[in-house]
Amino acid sequence: MKRSALFFLLNILFAYTLWGQYVQNIRGTVRDKSSGIPLEYAAITVLGTDPVSGTTTDSLGRFVIRDVPVGRYDLQIRFMGYEPVVMKEVLLSAAKEAYLDIRMTENVNLLGEIMVRPKINKAQPLNAMALGSARMFSVEETGRYAGGFDDPARLASAFAGVAGSVGNNGIVIRGNAPHFLQWRLEDIEIPNPNHFAEVTTFGGGGLTAFSSQMMGNSDFFTGAFPAEYGNALSGVFDMKLRNGNNQKREHTFQLGAVGIDFASEGPFRKAGNSSYLFNYRYSTMALLSSILPENAGGVRYQDLSFKLNFPTVHAGVFSLWGIGLIDRSGQKAKTDSLQWTYEADRQDQDIKQSMGAVGAHHRINISNDAFLKTSLAVTVSRLDFYTDRLDDALRFAPHSVIRNTNRHFIFSSVLTKKFNAVHTHKTGVRITGLHYDLLLKNASNRQGFETIADESGFSALFSAHSGSSFNLSDVWTLNLGLHAQLFDLNRRYAVEPRAGIRWRFRPHHSAGLSYGLHSRLEMLHCYFTKSAAGTLINKNLDFTRAHHLVATYDRSFSGDYHLRIEPYVQYLFRLPVAADRSFALLNLQRDWFITDKLENTGDGLNYGIEGTFEKYMSQGYYYLFTASLFDSRYRAGDGIRRNTRYNRGYVFNLLGGKEWMFGRRRQNIFQANVRLSYQGGERYTPVDWAASQQAEDVVYLEASAFSEQYRPAFVCHFTIACKINGKNRAHEFALKVINATMTKEYSGHKYNLKTRQADVDGEYIMIPNVSYKVEF
Query: Checking DSSP bridges between strand 476-487 and strand 449-471, what pairing results, if any?
Result: antiparallel
CA distance 29 to 664: 33
- Which of residues 228 and 167 earns the better pLDDT score? 228
With cut-offs at 50, 70 and 90, classify the pLDDT of residue 294: low
- Beta-carbon contacts of 71 under 8 Å, excluding residues fewer than 6 positions away, are 91, 92, 661, 666, 667, 669
Contact 719, 671 (CB under 8 A): yes
Residues 141-165 have pLDDT tens digits of: 877 888 888 888 788 999 999 998 8
Distance between CA 751 and CA 64 in Å, rounded?
Answer: 65
- 360 burial (CB, 10 Å; 0-12 / 13-18 / 19+) is middle
> pLDDT confidence of 68, banded at 50, 70, 90?
very high
Rounded CA separation 278/322 (Å) = 9
Cα 16–Cα 20–Cα 24 angle in degrees, nearest 5: 100
Q: What is the DSSP string of 286-339?
A: GGGTTTSPTTGGG-EEEEEEEEEEEE-SSS-EEEEEEEEEEEEEEE---S-GGG
Tens of pLDDT, residues 359-401: 999 999 999 899 999 999 999 999 999 999 999 999 999 999 9
d(CA 655, CA 649): 20
Q: What is the pLDDT of residue 295?
A: 59
Residue-level pLDDT at 5 = 45
pLDDT bracket for residue 258 (50, 70, 90): confident
Residue 484 has pLDDT above 60, yes or no: yes
Q: Which residue has the higher pLDDT, 6 or 454?
A: 454
**Pick from 250, 150, 163, 260: nearest CA to 203:** 163
Q: Is residue 424 within 8 Å of residue 469, measured between CB atoms?
A: yes
Contact between residue 683 and residue 708 where contact means Cβ atoms under 8 Å apart: yes
Residue 297 scores a pLDDT above 70: no
Cβ count near 506 (within 10 Å): 10
User: How is residue 112 annotated by DSSP?
Assistant: S
- Residue spans of beta strands (DSSP E) within 10-145: 23-32, 43-46, 53-56, 62-69, 71-78, 85-92, 98-104, 119-120, 134-137
Look over the chain and give the mean of its residue pLDDT values, rounded to a whole number: 91
Per-residue model confidence (pLDDT) at position 18: 47
Highest average pLDDT, of 311-315, 484-488, 533-537, comes from 484-488
N-term to C-term CA, the chain: 28
Asked if 502 contacts 510 with a C-beta cutoff of 8 angstroms, the reply is yes
Taking the CA atoms of 85, 88, 94 and 99 in sequence, report the sign of the dihedral they define. Answer: negative
- 16-20, 496-500, 719-723: least confident range: 16-20
pLDDT grade for 767, boundaries at 50, 70 and 90: confident
> Parallel, antiparallel, or unpaired for β 641-643 and 683-684?
unpaired
Name the pLDDT band for 1 (thresholds 50, 70, 90).
very low
What pLDDT is recorded for position 8? 45
Which helix (H) or strand (E) segment holds residue 144: the answer is helix 139-144
Q: State what percent of residues in the chain have pLDDT above 70.
A: 93
Mean pLDDT of 83-103: 90
Condensed to tens digits (0 to 9), the pLDDT of residues 408-448 reads 999 999 999 999 999 999 999 999 999 999 999 998 655 56
Task: Give how far Cα 431 sits from Cα of 341, 361, 409, 575, Å.
Answer: 50, 15, 8, 25
Amino acid making up residue 570: Q
- CA distances, 160 to each of 134, 163, 564, 568 (Å): 10, 9, 10, 12
pLDDT tens track for 563-598: 999 999 999 999 999 999 999 999 998 889 999 999
Positive or negative, the CA dihedral 694, 698, 701, 707 is: positive
Query: Which residues of 175-271 form beta strands (DSSP E)?
Result: 181-185, 188-190, 218-221, 235-239, 250-256, 259-267
- Global confidence as pTM: 0.91
| Region of residue 574 (left: phi > 0; alpha: psi -120 to 50; beta: else) | left
Taking the C-alpha atoms of residue 246 and residue 240, their distance in angstroms, rounded to an integer, is 18
pLDDT of residue 17: 47
The three-point CA angle 681-682-686 to 5° equals: 110
Say what the pLDDT of residue 148 is.
Answer: 81
Do residues 38 and 683 make contact, with C-beta atoms less than 8 angstroms apart? no
- Phi, psi at 755, each rounded to 5°: -90, -10
pLDDT computed for residue 116 by the predictor: 52
Residues 95-100: what's their mean pLDDT?
A: 91
pLDDT of residue 206: 84
The size of the chain, in residues, is 776
Specify the pLDDT at position 122: 72
The pLDDT score that the predictor gives to residue 272 is: 83
pLDDT tens for 15-53 read 444 455 689 999 999 999 888 889 999 999 999 888 889
Looking at per-residue confidence, does 757 or 141 come out higher? 757
Whether residue 464 is predicted with pLDDT greater than 80 in this model: the reply is yes
- Residue 557: is its pLDDT beyond 60? yes
CA distance 377 to 124: 29
Residue 79 has pLDDT above 80, yes or no: yes
Return d(Cα 423, Cα 229) in angstroms, integer.
Answer: 20
- Answer yes or no: is pLDDT of 302 > 70: yes
3-state secondary structure of 255: strand
- Of 113-127, 239-253, 285-299, give the lowest mean pLDDT range: 285-299
Confidence class for position 666, pLDDT limits 50, 70, 90 = confident
Span 188-235, pLDDT tens digits: 999 999 999 988 889 998 889 998 889 998 999 999 999 999 999 999
Q: What is the pLDDT of residue 245?
A: 94
- The more confident residue out of 356 and 6 is 356
Q: Is the dihedral of CA 82, 84, 90, 94 positive or negative?
A: positive
pLDDT digits (tens, 9 = 90+) for 671-711: 999 999 999 999 999 999 999 999 999 999 999 999 999 99
Please state the rounded mean pLDDT for residues 636-649. 97
